[in-house]
A and B are shown apart, each in its own frame.
Chain A
Amino acid sequence: MTRTRHWVLLSAFLTTFVLSGANCPSIPEIKERLVELAISGSTTFEFEARGITNILDDCDQVDFDQDFDVRQLIEDAGIDASAVTDIALAGVAYRVTRPDPNPQRGISSGQITVEYQGTTESLVDNFAEPVVNDVTAFKTATLNPAGVALINQILDDLLNDINGGKRGGGRIVEGCLIDGVSSPTGDDTNFDWELRLTLSIVGEIQVDVIG
């Protein structure tokens, strides 16, 4: 192959490449980036439905600071506490963890409430699980905006605690399943279930990247 043919081949290739619009790496350099990380955490209310023939009324307490372990989550992610910009309730899910011996067992008309610093709001209305005779995967609960707003208020208070350097918990919420109708009647209720609350946390970190 002559020298001329070499250059023709090379030119043809480069022309084809440029016309193809292919992107090409530029000069790599170290760049500073302020990246918003998003992390999640969850905690679970555990309920034991026992010996009640008809109406359920069961409560549990969650300390949002301690049980979610938010401080550990943000520390593990490498986020400085002062750089956390928001914590929000991302969702609520429930599941049966131990089925009822009675294969006909079901719950209807339940209401899940949350209480915080004297304010009580409904988080879930008309909670229903037609059959609790088997262990289930987590299912998404339909939420009441007032209850979500109350939990987000707790999270705002918790974020202020974290940003202010306050420690020691105390953001305690009482969650209750009340007025749930267990059926069939005449046979004691006997199953376990869980309610999982998931938080979504966002915070900023400064990183150096090459690119």
Chain B
Amino acid sequence: MTPRRTCVAFAVTLALVMVASPGYAQIEANLGGLTAANTEKYLEPFPAAFSAALNTAVFKSGNVPKVGLNWSVGVVAMAVAYDEDMTTYRPSYPSGFSPTDPNSVQVPTVTGSEQAVAVDGQGGTQLYFPGGFDVENFAFAAPQLTIGSFMGTRAVIRYIALDLGDVEIGDIELIGFGAQHSISQYFVALPVDIAAGFFYQSFELGSILNSNALHLNVTGSRSFGIAEPYMGLGFDSYSMDVSYRNEVDDTDIKVEFDGESNLHFTLGVGVSLAIARLNAEFNQGATTGLAVGVGIGM
């Protein structure tokens, strides 16, 4: 992985996500041998990536009609890069294990190398730390519905529930709702359409991971024929906790991660073709992300 890769266009489909997601089913197995402190470090790349992905591609225009029925339904797909500096961590050690050289060991995070690392302990003992999944990106896709307008306001809804057919992980569920309100309706002859919005999401990964995201945003856009460039400035917050059973202590553990709060910049373009609308956007939030969307509406 080079530190400065060239950004390239991407395409990801819902089917792709459905096929690939069971890879995460093994996360719970890996957590079973980790203490709460190590679980927080092992999953450290997740909060920023999930925050950036979930808070992406919500508002794709600043044009909210004041009245009248308008709607769109489609799929938005997001991909964000995991932080390259979070592929290893220095572990802490559970009672019963005494490492011979506690300060020299680095072990993989969930996005790091697939190789487990054996730490040598006093008396010839060994404690293995699990390998990661050697992934660079988090990608996700979800259906999204927008419907309006009432007093220059429209609703935005996302929902997806996937039964992955894996007893270890259960299923994935994402539900999100919010609204966008026209600001430009209060001004005369603004050169761009401006709208302010909020969007709340709940994202669950089986019975292991629960998270909530809130996105506040102001979007400006202007139509040029079939194209509508848009720019957004917003604020993201994200909280996540992970619950699992520790196999050593035979106890249930819940780890609450530090929340993510950051500014979010969006630059994108939508293209309308008859009733279809395509969009692509770049995002800089908790981390860098790209998103594409396709939908129909009127």
Question: Taking beta carbons and an 8 Å cutoff, which residues of A are in contact with B?
Answer: 1, 6, 10, 13, 17-18, 21-28, 30-31, 33-42, 73, 76-79, 86, 88-93, 137-145, 147-149, 152, 196, 198, 200-202, 205, 207-211
Cα-based distance from A1 to B221 in the complex (angstroms) = 12
Determine the chain B residues whose CB is within 8 A of the CB of A31 once the complex forms.
134-135
Would you call B8 and A26 a contact (CB within 8 A)? yes
Q: How far is the CB of B214 from chain A (nearest CB, A)?
A: 23
Q: Are A38 and B96 in contact (CB under 8 A)?
A: no
Q: 25 interchain pairs (CB within 8 A)?
A: A21-B3, A21-B4, A23-B1, A25-B79, A25-B136, A25-B288, A26-B136, A28-B139, A30-B20, A33-B134, A34-B114, A35-B130, A35-B134, A37-B130, A39-B33, A78-B29, A86-B128, A90-B125, A91-B94, A91-B98, A92-B96, A145-B123, A210-B12, A211-B134, A211-B137
Q: Determine if B7 and A24 form an interchain contact, defined as CB atoms under 8 angstroms apart.
A: yes
In whole angstroms, how far apart are the Cα atoms of A181 and B111 in the complex? 51
B124 and A22 contact, CB distance less than 8 A: no
The smallest C-beta distance from A69 to any residue of chain B, in angstroms, reads: 10
- Is B10's CB under 8 angstroms from A89's CB? no
B121 at the interface (CB under 8 A from A): yes
Tally of B interface residues using CB under 8 Å: 73
Q: A38-B116, A40-B33, A76-B29 are in contact. Are A22 and B168 (CB under 8 A)?
A: no
| Complex contact A93–B95 (CB within 8 A) | yes
Known A-B contacts A38-B116, A143-B122; A78 and B133 likewise in contact (beta carbons under 8 Å): no
B296 at the interface (CB under 8 A from A): no
Inside 8 A of B97's CB, which chain A residues have their CB? 90-91, 140, 198
- Residues of chain B lying within 8 A (CB to CB) of residue A42: 247-250
Question: Given A30-B20, A86-B128, A148–B138 Cβ distance below 8 Å?
Answer: no
Nearest-Cβ distance from residue A95 to partner chain B, whole angstroms: 9
Query: How long is the Cα–Cα vector from A120 to B16 in the complex, in angstroms?
Result: 56
A10–B250 Cα gap in the complex (Å)? 55
Contacts of B80 in A (CB 8 A): 25
Residues of A within 8 A of B168 (CB): 78
Counting chain A CB atoms within 10 Å of each CB, which of B24, B26, B229, B289 scores highest?
A: B26
B92 at the interface (CB under 8 A from A): no
A91 adjacent to B23 (CB under 8 Å): no
A3 to B138, CA, bound (A): 35
On chain B, the residues within 8 Å of A73 by CB distance are 247
Residues 53-103 of B contacting A (Cβ, < 8 Å)? 79-82, 84, 94-98
- Residue picked from A24, A27, A202, A211, most chain B C-beta under 10 Å: A24
Contact A38 B128 (CB under 8 A): yes
B244-290 with Cβ < 8 A to chain A: 247-250, 267, 282, 284, 287-290
B21 at the interface (CB under 8 A from A): yes
Assess whether A200 is in contact with B127, with CB atoms less than 8 Å apart.
yes
Inter-chain pairs besides A88-B118, A90-B126, A196-B96, 16 sampled, C-beta below 8 Å:
A17-B282, A24-B6, A35-B26, A35-B130, A35-B131, A38-B30, A38-B130, A38-B131, A77-B26, A90-B96, A140-B97, A140-B98, A145-B124, A208-B20, A209-B20, A209-B24
Give CA–CA (A86, B125) in the complex, Å.
12
**Contact: B123 with A148, CB < 8 Å?**
yes
Given known contacts A25-B289, A78-B168, A36 and B125 CB-to-CB distance under 8 angstroms: no
- Minimum-distance CB pairs A-B, first 10: A211-B135, A143-B123, A91-B96, A93-B96, A40-B33, A210-B20, A36-B116, A91-B97, A209-B23, A77-B29
Convert B11-33 into 0s and 1s, putting 1 for each residue whose CB lies closer than 8 angstroms to a CB of A. Answer: 11000110111111110011011
Contact at B121–A37, with CB atoms within 8 Å? no
Are A89 and B126 closer than 8 Å at their CB atoms? Answer: yes
Interface pair B30/A37, CB less than 8 Å apart: yes
Contacts of B289 in A (CB 8 A): 25
State the CA gap A210–B80 with chains docked (Å).
Answer: 12
Closest to A152 in B: B124
